[in-house]
Each structure stands twice: as structure tokens, then as C-alpha cells.
Amino acid sequence: MSSKRFLQSVDLDWLKEAYFSNPEQRRSLKKGDVLMKQGEKNDKLYLILSGSLVAHLTNEEGNNFEVFRSTTDMFVGVYSFFSKTFSSYATILAEEDSELAFIDSHQDVVEDDECRTFVEHFMPIVVSEISARQLMAQRVAMEKENTLKKLLQTEKMATLGQMAAGLAHELNNAIGVLQRKTEWLSEEISEYLNEKDTKGMFSFFKIGLKKGQFLSSSDVRKRQKELQSKYPLDNNLAKKLAKTGLTDDELLPFKEEILEGAERMNYYWEIGSTFHDMLLASNHAVHVVKSVKQLGVANVGKTEDLDLNESIKEALSLLKSILRRVDLKLELGELKTISANSGELVQIWLNIIKNGCESMLNSNTVSPTILVKSTMKGRWINVIIEDNGPGIPDDLKDKIFQPSFTTKKDGLSFGLGLGLAIVQRLVENYSGKIGVESRPGKTTFKIKLPVS
């Protein structure tokens, strides 16, 4: 950026020749020499023939800051010269050894073919200097604003992180206890029932524990009617038996006892399925707490020579249940190894894939498909995760990476709104990049991570 740009309409060479060619009116500065001091007299306009100068201003609070920087073919002393104050508003010194030419306030106009006045000769210079300095001021202001924004964001994340870490720590113990004790209790009860089992009721407990209630409420109603057509059961008992999800074949060994035994069968099944739900819920809670902790604490413990594809596979295995309802296309390329924390990588893929799957399932996307692809390009590993869901609405695109942004609002499935905020943070910690393109029918997350 220089004032030269504004001088294209003026013949700078002519100006130099006409006003700045007098060998008497020259000045040489060594690096560090002061040309003029703030507030002191200056009645000269200088043209820099070579070298560079820098101007500093000290304001009333005593803060010193740079106001402009000028190099070859630029002018200094513009303000004091043309404003007729003949007093410099800044201190100007040589940044390197410099050669200057000058004119003073008594300078006569040099006549040209068009009989232009002195002011006409110099107006372009004044304007271009002012513009250049204004642009510099604007640039500085913009940089400052950006820095401030970044600072605010960092601060926000740090506060959120601390809060999250505190909360996670508090919850971690409580949930850990619940999870462990539920596991213990379900094993103990399982053993106890197995020993006491006289009428084969243990198998009902086990089925409940293993699968929970896997029939939907409408399937339960269908099955209830089916059972009632086969056995003389009342609504209540038939429903209880239907809920267990046992097929006719599985019920066959108990055929004789169904009428008086249905209540007991359901009872044992329900104990099992209650444990199933408790384990599921406590695992969810543990998962949520773990994710929140990721946000708060910088993770240490990197592994060298990590195969990123392994972390993708691990994430996919954690998402087995949701992926049963989604078509998965996996295209994992040959990758260089990376130095990373494998848990963090899993977290990245997990969150993005989970989001994609959930958006497709919640919107009843026809033949929901998710593509996970990894490729090597130079020193970058590129991972693409693409779904054919409804896409991210335009007005939400800017917000998806913000903490506490969520479209999920209820239930056990976790909707803390931290998923993508965590992802972005993790990717940035690896000096990577993440971007998203989305339209209805195609949403693509692109993640780039550098190999070490």
C-alpha cells in the first residue's frame, strides 16, 4: 500500500524534477536520526529519495503508537506544511539510512505548460497521503477488532471449558457410582435368579436384560392381539407377554403355563429390561460427561504413528445401533500415520457421523446413506463425511459450531449442543481445518489434518 497509487494522474517525475532537484535542498539521515519532533517546528515538505521513515505519536495518556510509515517516492511533513501550522504532529525518524529532498514554505511555483498553481501541483499528493494514512488507520482498527473478537471467543471457550470441567467432575463421580453399582446389581441378581431358577424364568430375565423392550408400542399392540387370538388371555396379561417380544417358538416350551405364568414371565422380563434401561441410561450419562470433559481440559497423551483409519472404525463401532438403520459407505484410503490422541479423533468422527445419522432418521430421509472417506494429499489427511439428509438450513449454518447450539431437545439421546463445538476445537488443536457444505440431499463435512 503506498501513495503511489494515487499519483498515477500526476507526473511524479516532473514534480521531482521541478521541485526536488536542488542539490542544496537535500538531507541525509542515518538510521535512528530524528527528522522532526512532535510539536516542534517544521516548515518543510520532504520527498523520500531512498530509505524509509516511521512516524510515532504520543497521546495525552502517554501512549506511543505508530501513525505511518513512508518509503521511497513518498512525502513526509505533509500535515505541517499544507495545514500552515508549520508544526509537526508526530515524531518522524529514519528506520534505515535515508536520502531526502525538500522544499520549504517560501517555495515559488514552478511554471508548467498549463499554468497550474502550486496548490494544483501538490493537491494530488496531499490527498493521496491523507488517503494512505486513513487506510492504514482503518486497517489497524480492523485488525484490532479481529483480535478482540478472537480474544472474546477464546475467553468464552475458556470460561465454558472451566465450567464444563467443574460440572463434569462433579457429575463424574455420581454417575460412575450409578453405572458401576447398576452393573454389579444386575450381575448379582442375574446369578441369584439363575440359582433359584426352577421354572425357567431366568431366561425371561436374561432376554429382558439383553434386549430391553425392542418392540415399538404399535408392534406391542399387534402382538397383543395375536397372542389373544391364540390364548385366552385378558388385555393386560396379553400386553405384558407381548412386551417381552418373545416369539411363538420361544414361548412354545411354556405353552402349558402361559395362562397362569404370563404375569411371572413378564415380571422377570421386566426386571431384566429395567436393568437394561438403567445400564443404557447410565452409559449415556457417562458418555455425556466424558464429552463435556473434552471441552474443558486440553488432552495430553498423544500416540505417535497412529492410523487415523482405526479411529474412524472405532467411532463406527460405537455407533453400531444407529448405523443399523443407515446405509454406510466406507472408503478408507492408504494414509500416513499421525501423532494424535486416538480418543480425540474418535470424538471428532463420532460427533459428525452421529449428527448426520440423526438428522436423516429424524427427517425420515428415504434410503439414508452416510459416506466416510479418507484420502492422503501431500502432508494433509482429508476426511469427508457426507450424508443425504435434509441439509442444514441457511440461517443455522453460521451457528452449528457454537457451543450450546442444538436441534435435539429431549430424551436420552444427547443434545447438549456441544458436539460440533468440541469437534471444531479438537480439529483446531491439531492445526487442522473443518468446513461444511450443505444443501437439501447433501451435507458434506470436510476435515483436514496435517501429518506430523
Partner 1 sequence: MEKLYIICVDDQREVLSTIAKDLAVFENDLIIEECESATEAEELIDEIDSEGDFVALIISDHVMPGKSGVDFLSDVNKDERFPNTQKILLTGLATHQDTIEAINSASINQYLEKPWNKEELIKSVKKLLTRFILKTGLDYQKYLPLTDQETLFEILKKQG
Contacts to partner 1 from residues 8-67, by CB under 8 A: none
Q: What is the helix (H) or strand (E) element at residue 13, kind and residue range?
A: helix 12-19
Stated as kind and residue range, the H or E segment containing 165 is helix 118-196
Tell me the closest approach of the beta carbon of residue 210 to partner 1, in angstroms: 15
Tell me which stretch binds partner 1 (CB under 8 A): 98-106, 210-218, 317-325, 346-354: 210-218
Per DSSP, the residues of 216-247 read -HHHHHHHHHHHHHHS---HHHHHHHHHTT--
Burial group, residue 18, by CB count within 10 angstroms (0-12, 13-18, 19+): middle
Query: Which of 9, 63, 198, 218 is the binder for partner 1 (CB under 8 A)?
Result: 218
Q: Which amino acid is at 271?
A: I
Detail the DSSP E strand segments found in 30-179. 34-36, 44-50, 52-58, 64-71, 75-76, 91-94, 98-104
> 220 or 345: whose CB is closer to partner 1?
220
Smaller CB distance to partner 1: residue 85 or 362?
Answer: 362
Q: Please, which of residues 343-382 interact with partner 1 by CB under 8 A?
A: 362
Cα 134 from Cα 212, distance rounded (Å): 70
Q: How far is the CB of 290 from partner 1 (least distance, A)?
A: 21
Residue 410 CB, nearest distance to partner 1 (Å)?
4
- Give whichever of 24 and 234 is closer to partner 1, judged by the CB atom: 234
Q: Closest CB to partner 1 among 280 and 451? A: 280
Residue 275: CB minimum distance to partner 1, A: 12
- Smallest gap from Cβ 282 to partner 1, in A, equals 12
Shortest distance (Å) from residue 241 CB to partner 1: 14
Of the two residues 262 and 340, which places its CB atom closer to partner 1 in the complex? 262
Cβ-based nearer residue to partner 1, 9 or 364 = 364
Distances in Å between the Cα of 433 and the Cα atoms of 215, 348, 383, 387, 430 are 43, 12, 11, 19, 9
Cell numbers linked to 122? 501538490
Residue bearing cell 429431549? 410
Sites for partner 1 among residues 263-282 (CB under 8 A): 270, 273, 277, 280-281
Kindly provide the b/e burial profile for residues 180-201, where b requires at least 16 CB atoms within 10 angstroms of the residue's own CB: eebeeebeeebeebeeeeeeeb
Do 419 and 291 form a contact (C-beta atoms < 8 A)? Answer: yes
CB of 336 to partner 1, least distance (A): 42
Among residues 213, 342, 365, 444, which is the contact residue for partner 1, using CB under 8 A?
213
Pick one of 27, 169, 221, 373: the residue that binds partner 1 (CB under 8 A).
Answer: 221
Element (H, E) at 303: strand 303-306
The one among 59, 63, 198, 217 contacting partner 1 by CB under 8 A: 217
Q: Which of residues 402-421 bind partner 1 (CB under 8 A)?
A: 409-413
Task: Read off the DSSP letter of residue 73.
Answer: T
Task: Specify the stretch interacting with partner 1 by CB under 8 A; choose among 28-36, 69-77, 211-219, 369-377.
Answer: 211-219
Cβ–Cβ under 8 Å, residues 322 and 290: no
Number of residues that bind partner 1 (CB under 8 A): 21
- Binds partner 1 (CB under 8 A): choice among 58, 235, 404, 429: 235
The interface with partner 1 within residues 153-182 (CB under 8 A) comprises none
Q: Does 229 bind partner 1 (CB under 8 A)?
A: no
**DSSP, res 107:** P
Tell which one of 220, 258, 350, 370 touches partner 1 (CB under 8 A). Answer: 220
Q: In the bound complex, what is the minimum distance in angstroms from residue 409's beta carbon to partner 1? A: 4
Cβ atoms 449, 383 nearer than 8 A: yes
Distance CA 1, CA 439 (A): 40
Binding footprint of partner 1 on the chain (CB under 8 A):
212-213, 216-218, 220-221, 235-236, 243, 270, 273, 277, 280-281, 362, 409-413
